[in-house]
Amino acid sequence: MSAQSVNLNVQREGTPMSTLTLMTRLREATRESHDQLETLPYFQALERGELPIESYVGQLRAMAVLHGVLEHELPKAGDERMNAVWRENLRRFPQIQTDLGFFASKAVLDIATAHEAACALADPILQRSVEQPVSLLGYLYVLEGSIGGAQVLAPRFRQVFGLDERHGLAYLSWEPTVAQERWRAFGERMNAAPVDAAESADIIAAAEEAFAGIQGLFAALYPFETAQLTRKATSLNPEAGAHPVPEDPGEIDAAIRAGERCWQEYPYFAWRYGERGWRYTQSDGAWLITLTTQDQAVMDAQVAWLSGVLGARGMPSRLLQRHLELLYEELIGRMPESGERRYGRLLAAADRLAEQRRAVIADADLDMISRQFDQAAGPDWRARLPCMGALLVCAVADQAHGIKQAVASFQSWLVDPQRFPPHWIAAVHEALREAEARRRA
């Protein structure tokens, strides 16, 4: 009889379903799935001390997708019941990121089938966040409940892999009294959530769906064929989904280094997009390198697509242009032999973005507006956020090329009086006016 089923018997006898609390109904509905989970080869191999590190890191990467997407979607659903249950301290993605940071330099490969199982976990969450947002409480129940199991499993992982809460085991490490109080308070808020019968049925269905997805994941994590080992974007960015990244560790290093240099040149990235933005820079950079095996037309089409996506989120094309140039430099520096013909495609794509901008606003006008902006912003702000004048000009050119939100998505952040002084905001408006006035197309 598993740990979980013990408690259940107390509840069931002679108690009509409708009067059972939501938490009890969730426990009852998922008990079998939980029992099956515990019998999976993954946990048996852990017990025997034979679980490979790829299985454990694969679990972390998969849980990063699950927590990453759920903790992004749930708080922004705007549903008062969910807001009543959700607390910022329920976030566990940061702990997983800490653990993945510990393994980042250890080049642990991905298990392809487990990666697919992890990405498949994200889809129903995204769908529910649109169609039945309150049902996401079912996913939250499963992930919060898993802390119960973590306390049983953590000592085993500690022993088998020599990990601890500061070295790869932060996600599973819980002080029992903290975990108990957290679970009690969570249960109380869940049971107090005013959901009707149909909604609680949706929440239970979501919890069952989560368990089914997690079972599929653990089944894919162990055992696995070594031929399954590969490198996926999610090892750089859990939210990156299933797009390809290079297998070659040298190219991955080049992607990370080019991203670092681009962020150093444009502190705007860190200011506005933070950790999440950094993860996307790494996974996007790695993806762009995979395009160098295609012909220039494919590269240019994909770069134009990415420029549209980024431009609508406040990243003018000059940022992507610079990222492409730095990728080229880092790759040529590391692998000159396979260089020019293949990696030169990145540089050609960067030149095309610059050409596009030039067709709307000439270099001389860009330089003039950029100097004027820096003058008006003053040395302090210029040092803190360099090159913003040039980016404003590029946003105007991007909009002329059909990226509808290019100016609005960039300007809105730059004119926020909570963040910037009046003279800066005036300089932003002036630079945009000037750029509009000098548009050639």
Q: Which residues here bind ligand HEM, judged by CB under 6 A?
A: 3-4, 7, 23, 26-27, 34, 37-38, 43, 141-142, 145-146, 148-149, 152-153, 214
Nearest to 250 by CA among 286, 299, 288, 210: 286
Report in angstroms how near the CB of residue 7 gets to ligand HEM at its nearest: 5
Q: Which is nearer to ligand HEM, 146 or 321 (CB)?
A: 146
C-alpha closest to that of 324 among 250, 235, 259? 259
Task: Please state, in angstroms and rounded to a whole number, the distance separating the CA atoms of residues 159 and 193.
Answer: 40
% helix / strand / coil in the chain, to the nearest 5? 80, 0, 20
- State in angstroms the smallest separation of the CB of 141 from ligand HEM: 6
- Closest CB to ligand HEM among 154 and 361? 154
Minimum CB separation from ligand HEM for residue 279, in Å?
23
Could you tell me the smallest distance in angstroms from the CB atom of residue 108 to ligand HEM? 20
Which tokens hold the place of 222? 């162990």
Amino acid at 175: E
- Smallest distance, ligand HEM to C-beta of residue 378, A: 52
Question: Residue 106: which of 249, 291, 254, 318 has the closest Cα?
Answer: 249
Backbone φ, ψ for residue 168 (5° rounding): 90, 5
The answer to whether 85 touches 143, Cβ cutoff 8 Å, is: no
Residue with Cβ nearer ligand HEM (96 or 369):
96
Q: Which is nearer to ligand HEM, 20 or 104 (CB)?
A: 20
Measured from the CB of residue 55, what is the shortest distance to ligand HEM in angstroms?
Answer: 13
Pick between residue 37 and residue 331 the one whose CB is nearest to ligand HEM: 37
User: Closer to ligand HEM at the Cβ: 204 or 214?
Assistant: 214
CA distance 67 to 61: 10
Of the two residues 153 and 201, which places its CB atom closer to ligand HEM in the complex? 153
Query: In angstroms, what is the minimal distance from the CB of 78 to ligand HEM?
Result: 25
In the complex with ligand HEM, which residue's Cβ is closer, 17 or 152? 152
End-to-end distance of the chain based on CA atoms, in angstroms? 73
Burial call 223-241: b when 16+ CB within 10 Å, e when fewer: ebeeebbebbbbbbbbbbb
* Min separation Cβ 27 and ligand HEM, Å: 3
- The answer for residues whose C-beta is within 8 angstroms of residue 335's C-beta and 6 or more apart is 250, 251, 343
Q: CB–CB of 64/234 below 8 Å? A: yes
Nearest CA to 243 out of 297, 290, 276, 277 is that of 290
Question: Minimum Å distance from CB 319 to ligand HEM?
Answer: 38
- For ligand HEM, which is the closer residue by CB, 186 or 268? 186
Task: Give the amino acid at 340.
Answer: E
